[in-house]
Amino acid sequence: MDTATHVVMGFAIGGLATLDPVVAETTVNTQSVLVAAIIGSQIPDIDTFLKLKNNAVYIRNHRGITHSLPAVLLWSILVAFFVNLIFPGSSLTHLWIWSLVAVSLHVFVDIFNAYGTQALRPLSSKWVAFGMINTFDPYIFGIHIIGIVIWLFGGNPGVTFLVMYVIIALYYVLRYIMQQMVKSAVLKTVPDADKIIIASTMYFNQWRIAVTTKDHFYVGRAYRRSVTIFDKFKRIPVPDTDLIQAAKKDKNISAFLSFSPVYRWEVKKYDDYTEVRFIDLRYRSNGHYPFVAIVKLTDDLEVITSYTGWVYSEEKLRKKLRVATD
């Protein structure tokens, strides 16, 4: 989820924690657990700072080890001890319990986005991405805001957020049912599909679709049960050539391929260099595919420049490549 949603989730967990008698019995426990819940709901995304280094490192690592099974336990322990230092006399045990709830919920909700996480590490490095909930879901965010407002106006926070999370759980069930309905509609449109990626958007009834068959890629949108295919690409296996192997060794291409589950590729020969491009098919926006990886190589297969990330026009992509060269 986005940062704002994780923040309001932290407040909600802090409010929910007041149902715990130990938390509710003293002001220091109530305040410390609220602080721990807010920090715990944010700390797995500390890897966002990797973006300051470069996109390749960020793409390869964001929502990776920081969202893994060992990290969930480690973060909760660190948060509990840190907050306990700030609030002497607070219950360390209950700080840890509610920190664990906050961190676990952060990782749990992230697996329902299209981006996903490597939440199963070290058992598996596979990206878990169900695509049922948009990174920013206005309904989930909105109901959290309503709950916080009720709390501010004197409502019982424990009961308020317990009811809220029951409603949100039912919302997740509804989104799953809707996604399965869309999948059935896609199979009617592309009956020979062997892989279907369905991702939510900010709009309740609209979904992004990327479909793989034996011979083609299909990209489209669904509105309720109506499926529209916008693009169809011939599925051509990536060749095992010296050029491609050299391209794959580049850090930006390597990071892209480690993350993207469905993409097409292009090779273009120019006078002074050859350009290899990989294009993720999941994020079509206004006829453009913004998530790409591109590398320019000399005739001797030396990398001139490369880039990976989200770029919404060819002009901006060319500027990124020029900056990388400089």
Band of pLDDT at residue 55, cut at 50, 70 and 90: confident
The string of pLDDT tens digits covering residues 61-104 is 788 889 999 999 999 999 999 999 999 999 999 999 999 999 99
The string of pLDDT tens digits covering residues 292-312 is 999 999 999 999 999 999 887
The string of pLDDT tens digits covering residues 268-289 is 999 889 999 999 999 998 888 9
The string of pLDDT tens digits covering residues 199-244 is 999 999 999 999 999 999 999 999 999 999 999 999 999 999 999 9
Q: Which of 4-18, 141-155, 296-310 has the lowest mean pLDDT?
A: 296-310
Across the range 106-118, mean pLDDT stands at: 92
Band of pLDDT at residue 35, cut at 50, 70 and 90: very high
pLDDT at residue number 125: 84
pLDDT at residue number 170: 98
Band of pLDDT at residue 30, cut at 50, 70 and 90: very high
Q: How far is CA 204 from CA 171, 198, 241, in A?
A: 11, 13, 44
Instruction: Write down the pTM of the prediction.
Output: 0.89
Beta bridge partners of 290: none
